[in-house]
Structure 1
Amino acid sequence: MDFLRPRTLAEALALKAERPDAVPIAGGTDVMVELNFDHRRPAALLDLTGIGELAGWSTSDAQVRLGACVPYTRVIAELGEWLPGLAMASRTVGSPQIRNRGTVGGNLGAASPAGDTHPVLLVSGARIEASSTRGTRLIPAEDFYVGVKRNALADDELITAVHLPVRAGAQQFSKVGTRNAMVIAVCSFAIAIEDHRVRAAIGSAAPTPRRVREAEEFLSAELPWGSPLPDSVGRRFGELVAAAAEPIDDVRGTAAYRRHALSVLARRTLGWAWQELLGKDFPMGIVKSRSHRDRG
């Protein structure tokens, strides 16, 4: 196995063009597990840890550009106010050691249906920045997941950043696992409510993370804006979320349990988001341009 270690993004893209079989590695929290258990034996590894262009984040025009190699700990510490849903999901990832190493870019590259950040990226309207020697394109999160552990990247492309709007309403995330920490989600759910619009998404309950369109449309029409939430609305929303799932039976849970758990998660998470909206005002505002590079 070859180990490729570029020092600049341009060099990394050139190496990926020459060696499309090279597997990118940054935190290594997914790739190294697969290697250790001999589930994967790539011809080459492309180490991205030394590339400063991937290790920072910036804001401009109410958008955050999150570098692919920014670890979860920095998302939690530095971006919780602007990207609360993503920070919530990041707090549930693995152990402190994993959060220090793992990245949203790595989560996207692995494209596991159980990835914790995926539902939040879907409801946030995230766009994935994919770069190659041919240029750069932005892929909407909804188009990025194409199958179980499969994404929309071309063979010569690398994930260089994720673009997310600054929160303008309420965002919430929750998941169910077999224990309280260091757990792979049995199922997960995210919701964003802003400007009288609802976005909701599920994870670990279908071949890919997905939006739940029928549930979104129902809730957008039925929410009593500015008033307490009727129980009947929450119950029906949970039913529609569960109906949108295509779960399987596996060692972490049955399909029936996943559907039931999603219904409960949807009701509870909606309740938290609604309380957030009733208790706070979220003006859109304009975020001044800022840039934050790796402090390591």
Structure 2
Amino acid sequence: MDFLRPLTLADALAAKAEHPDAVPLAGGTDVLVELNFDHRRPAALLDLTRVPDLHEHSRVDGRVRIGAGVPYTRIIAELGADLPGLAMAARTVGSPQIRNRGSVGGNLGAASPAGDSHPALLAADAEVEIASVHGARLVPVKDFYLGVKRNVLAEDELITAVHLAPATGPQQFSKIGSRNAMVIAVCAFGLALHPERERVGTGIGSAAPTPRRAAEAEEFLAGELTDRNLWHAPRALEDSVKRRFGELVARAASPIDDVRGSAAYRKHALAVMARRTLGWAWQDYLEGSRRACA
């Protein structure tokens, strides 16, 4: 097995072009496990840990650009105020040691339906920055996933960053597992309110072949909030609205039975999580509106 260690992004892209079968190695929290259990034996590893460009975050055209190698701990500490949903999801990832190494770029590269960052990225309308020696492109995260552990990357491309707009409204994330920490999600749900656009964003994890949005649920809730003028004059949401939102989120999932949970349980859990996260997010919105009027 060859071990490639570029020191610049240009060198990393050139190495990937020359060795398209090389597996990128950033935090190693997925790849090294697969190597240790002999589930994968690639011809080459492309170590990206010494490429500075991948470990920085910045503002680009008013959006937050997070390098693919920025670890979860830095997202929590440095970007939590701008990206609360992603920070909430990051706090649920593994142990402190895993959060020190793992990154959103690695999560996207693995493209596991159970990846913790995916629901938050979907709810926030993130875009994935992808590059090769031929140039860079931005892919909406909703179009990034192709199947179980499959994504749109060409064989000579690397994930270089993810772009998200700073939150303009409350965001929430909820995850269910067999225990409270260091666990793969049985299912997960992300929610973001976008009052400036009168839009609602959602993200479902570990309940379909790919992470996905609940489009019907988004349209229903946004329509209710607009028709009742709740974006501009917020008041308590009726239980029937929360319940219907949960039903539509569950309807958007297509889970399977596996060792972590049944399909029926996942649908039930998603409905509950959707109702609860909506309740938490709307309470934050109400309180923010009251403070603004005080």
Mapping 1:223-238, distance limit 5 Å: 223=225, 224=228, 225=230, 226-238=234-246
**1:41-67, CA deviations, whole angstroms, 9 ceiling, x for partnerless residues?**
111100000011111100144210100
**1:183-237, CA deviations, whole angstroms, 9 ceiling, x for partnerless residues?**
1000000111122211112000000000111111111112351010100111111
Structure 2: state its 5+ residue gaps: none
Q: Which residue of 1 aligns with 2:38?
A: 38
Query: CA separation in 2, counterparts of 1:172 and 1:256?
Result: 23
Q: Which amino acid aligns with 1:216?
A: E
Q: Which amino acid aligns with 1:182?
A: M
Q: Give identity over the alignment, percent.
A: 71
Q: Which residue of 2 aligns with 1:290?
A: none
Mapping 1:76-115, distance limit 5 Å: 76-115=76-115
Mapping 1:208-247, distance limit 5 Å: 208-223=210-225, 224=228, 225=230, 226-247=234-255
1:201 corresponds, among 200, 203, 224, to 203
Structure 1: state its 5+ residue gaps: 283-296
Q: Which amino acid aligns with 2:162?
A: V
1:262 corresponds, among 243, 247, 270, to 270
Q: Which residue of 1 aligns with 2:182?
A: 182
Which moved further from structure 2: 192-201 or 176-185?
Answer: 192-201
- CA drift of 1:281 comes to 4.7
Q: Which residue of 1 aligns with 2:55?
A: 55
Query: CA separation in 2, counterparts of 1:230 and 1:128?
Result: 36
Structure 1: which 4+ aligned runs deviate by more than 4 Å? none
Q: Which amino acid aligns with 1:129?
A: E
Q: Which amino acid aligns with 2:221?
A: L
Query: CA separation in 2, counterparts of 1:197 and 1:244?
Result: 18
**1:22-75, CA deviations, whole angstroms, 9 ceiling, x for partnerless residues?**
000010000011111111111110000001111110014421010011000000
Mapping 1:18-37, distance limit 5 Å: 18-37=18-37
Query: CA separation in 2, counterparts of 1:165 and 1:219?
Result: 21
**TM-score after normalising by structure 2:** 0.94
Q: Which amino acid aligns with 2:189?
A: F
* 2:7 corresponds to 1:7: yes
- SS of the aligned residue for 2:219 comes to helix
Query: CA separation in 1, counterparts of 2:266 and 2:118?
Result: 17
The answer on whether the counterparts of 2:121 and 2:203 sit within 8 Å (CA) in structure 1 is no
CA root-mean-square deviation? 1.1
Query: CA separation in 1, counterparts of 2:281 and 2:241?
Result: 14
Q: Which residue of 1 aligns with 2:145?
A: 145
Higher relative contact order (CA 8 A, sep 6+): 1
Query: CA separation in 1, counterparts of 2:70 and 2:172?
Result: 21
**TM-score after normalising by structure 1:** 0.94
- CA drift of 1:18 comes to 0.5
